[in-house]
Structure 1
């Protein structure tokens, strides 16, 4: 239904407009001679306008760039700023730790750590917690533990899942359902099929076939796919995963790093899941680097009872800065005062408004698109019906259309997550912010379809 010539003309216009509005950002990008890929981290090169917007400051759900332009931010650091940018309670806790209490890298515990562990246990239902600096590290360490405890070598993933840069997770399914390395995998240490198995999301039969080999230590999964767009679980699927993993003696790790948007206890609490391990990262620290993994009491006792495992020094399940006083103070302040149960209720209400408004526009223009919502997060997809697994979701990708919409919105003060048409609400997001998105989104569609 999309006139590709019209799309190309509009995109070219928007790109010229973007360059004209952002001379300082362009100059900084053009002059970056000492950064790999010209940016601090290569993901920042995901940019529809030819160069990234350079940050000047951010607060709440607002971002200001170096050219003085203001944006309503629905990207929120790809969930890293789910609490909003620089939430005051978190900022106050950081200042106290840095200026008053001091001690940022002492390798000593603080009282805040037990409070955070207890709060995470309350929210997610697993009792014993340990900290990292990223969810990627938390996943790596959890993988090492489950291999040690089960005596099995392989981990099972869903194609196009998101577990950070964990080597084992970069596996997708071939047409016959068996695994292969995900395209673009950089410098894989070994063939990924040596370490991993794969089964499509929402496919219990495929999962059972893979678990029947008897060599899978754990299924590591998002309860809803997020890195290839939001793919929601079908009725009974997650309960089936839990039943199959138990039947085959396989542990279940739920990664809530992105699905934390489902509610104060993530999808684990919202959907009544029963994982052996929960992993979470970034958003619980209000922007300060952090991650955590929680184990069931039974699993924790099994690990601590193993005298052959070095859990104190060189066993591979920790890092010098993990659980440092600053990140733990930020986690406590964010969980206690910002991402509260009440805050989530308001965030989910805003996301519901967002999804309903986008659906109205889609219906008005008879577009074959869908909207998916995951608690405080919503996304529009260029497919109908909505994809049911990662492979279908990848096949529905339309890079040109996505870039046009992202650039059209950015040129008018709205930022979406750059990897998707995904919008996240934070405690400071208002109904007016959501409505502003809808107005501009509809303008973009009206121009594209010549209505």
Structure 2
């Protein structure tokens, strides 16, 4: 692989040094972690243990593109809550809207709608092109409900996803193409209710022939996909691929769901608007709430009409999946403020320009060290990859992972005030991210490679 030439003994020695430095610099975070024995895994969610340095830093405060931990260290935050804070931490319009809702108006959870919800639906429709919207608390829940709706209208049992996709903890998505080319459960799949190969089909991203072969079985209700893979590393669509997906789904009577939760970084209407896509359903979460929990799904007019015309479907009582807190007044106030005042077209233009500066700088550093690595950009999101050319499928992307190298780079960056998404080498820009922030990352990144390869 493209990292085989790295001196592993040197890498291990430098990583040990950086972890020791981290331990010296973060005694209060270490103590907080040690005291958290009543939390499963010592963290609020077990994925917070994905820390290159051995334990997470603990939050004191965050604002804009900056995060400060309880040991007093400030970071330029390119992680941004793994997209949830793409609007920046605690953007002023969202803080004002939530404060007014909770303080002046009251009513955090009421089970009656607010006018904000209708305004949010209208804005999502304007941006993404689908006319009918409903809400959840996470994109995972939005995906689950979309799957149920499409199974209901098609009478088909299976969902098709891309190998090494990410759609939250949706059971149907935890399927990959194995080394023998056959579908299998993704490694580490926890407590699957049944064999995922019975509920799902899988095709590689950028593989239209494989998609056509799987759709030909005639049992797929919907293709659930990101327009570009993100959580296995950014894998961009090849020319004609997304148009081919749309044509094949229509040919085989399957609906198409675009999960825009991460690809929202492509622009104010996500990849759907940026690339003129025509899905039947869009799911999204995280960033649209400015850090407040929210998920949403949008339906085409045809699909919405088919569903509301089905008197046999319980869409009101126990079948009204979404949860008591879905569409709550606080989430709707936050989402309205985020869309109307923070993640605007102008903001995306600036964020994408800064991301371009980030990408160009990393390419120059990689070239300066003659590394066979690559850089992918998706609007306001950038990632450096340990492969050149860049991976074209999820399986190829998974194979380029180098956990030891990633952990060293992440710990080196943390120790010098830079946060990246801990799952991969992804950097996200928010409206407050500056070119000086980017320059600081490049300075530290180049220094890390200089010590490693020098």
**Band of TM-score, shorter chain:** over 0.9
**1:354 corresponds to which residue?**
358
Query: What CA distance in whole angstroms lies between the structure 2 residues aligned with 1:296 and 1:419?
Result: 33
**1:411 equivalent in structure 2:** 415
* Residues 6-21 of structure 1: pairs in structure 2 closer than 5 A: 6-21=10-25
Secondary structure of 1:371's partner?
Answer: strand
Q: Secondary structure at the match of 1:217?
A: strand
Unaligned runs of 5+ residues in structure 1 are none
Q: Which stretches of structure 1, 4 residues or more, deviate above 3 A after TM superposition? A: none
Deviation at 1:204, TM superposition (A): 0.2
Spell out, residue by residue over 1:260-312, the C-alpha distance to the aligned partner (whole angstroms, 9 max, x if none).
00000000000010000000001000010000000001110110000000000
Residue in 2 that maps onto 1:68: 72
Count of equivalent residues: 450
Q: Give matches, 1:174-185, under 5 Å.
A: 174-185=178-189
Does 2:115 correspond to 1:111? Answer: yes
CA RMSD between the two structures: 0.6
Which residue of 374, 378, 391 corresponds with 1:370? 374
CA contact (8 A) 1:163 1:169 kept: yes
1:295 aligned partner: 299
Instruction: Find the residue that maps to 1:44 and give its secondary structure.
Output: helix
Q: Deviations along 1:105-147, whole A, 9 cap, x unmatched?
A: 1110111111100100011011100000000000000000000
- Aligned 8 A contact 2:61 2:68 in 1: yes
CA displacement at 1:211 relative to structure 2: 0.1
How far off is 1:318 after superposition? 2.5
- Is the contact made by 1:371 and 1:379 (CA closer than 8 Å) also made in structure 2? yes
The answer to whether the 8 A contact 2:137-2:322 is kept is no
Alignment partners' CA distance in 2, 1:322 and 1:198: 30
Aligned to 1:100: 104
Mapped to 1, the partners of 2:330 and 2:202 lie a distance apart of 37
Q: How many Å separate the matches in 2 of 1:318 and 1:359?
A: 43
| TM-score, structure 2 as length reference | 0.99
Equivalence map 1:16-415=2 (5 Å): 16-415=20-419
2:2 corresponds to 1:4: no
For residue 192 of structure 1, report the CA deviation from its aligned partner: 0.2
CA positional deviation for 1:175: 2.9
- For residues 398 and 249 of structure 1, the distance between their equivalents in structure 2, rounded to whole angstroms, comes to 40
Question: Following TM superposition, by how much is the alpha carbon of 1:176 offset from its aligned partner in structure 2, in angstroms?
Answer: 3.8
Residue 177 of structure 1 and its aligned partner are, at CA, apart by 3.0
* Contact 1:144/1:317 (<8 A) preserved: no
SS at match of 1:157: strand
* 8 Å CA contact 1:141, 1:316 repeated in 2: no
The separation in 2 between residues aligned to 1:178 and 1:111, in whole angstroms, is: 49
Q: CA deviation at 1:16?
A: 0.5
Contact (CA 8 Å) 1:409, 1:441: kept in 2 or not? yes
Q: Deviations over 1:356-392 (max 9, x none)?
A: 0000000000001000000000000011111101100
How many angstroms apart in 1 are the aligned matches of 2:180 and 2:171? Answer: 22
| Alpha-carbon shift at residue 174 of structure 1 (Å) | 1.7
CA distance in 2, matches of 1:214, 1:107: 40
Q: Is 1:425 aligned to 2:451, yes or no?
A: no
Contact conserved, 1:180 with 1:192, CA < 8 A, in 2? yes
Q: TM-score, normalised by structure 1?
A: 0.99
Shift of 1:316: 5.0
Give the match's secondary structure for 1:368: coil
Q: 2-side partners of 1:297 and 1:236: how far apart?
A: 26
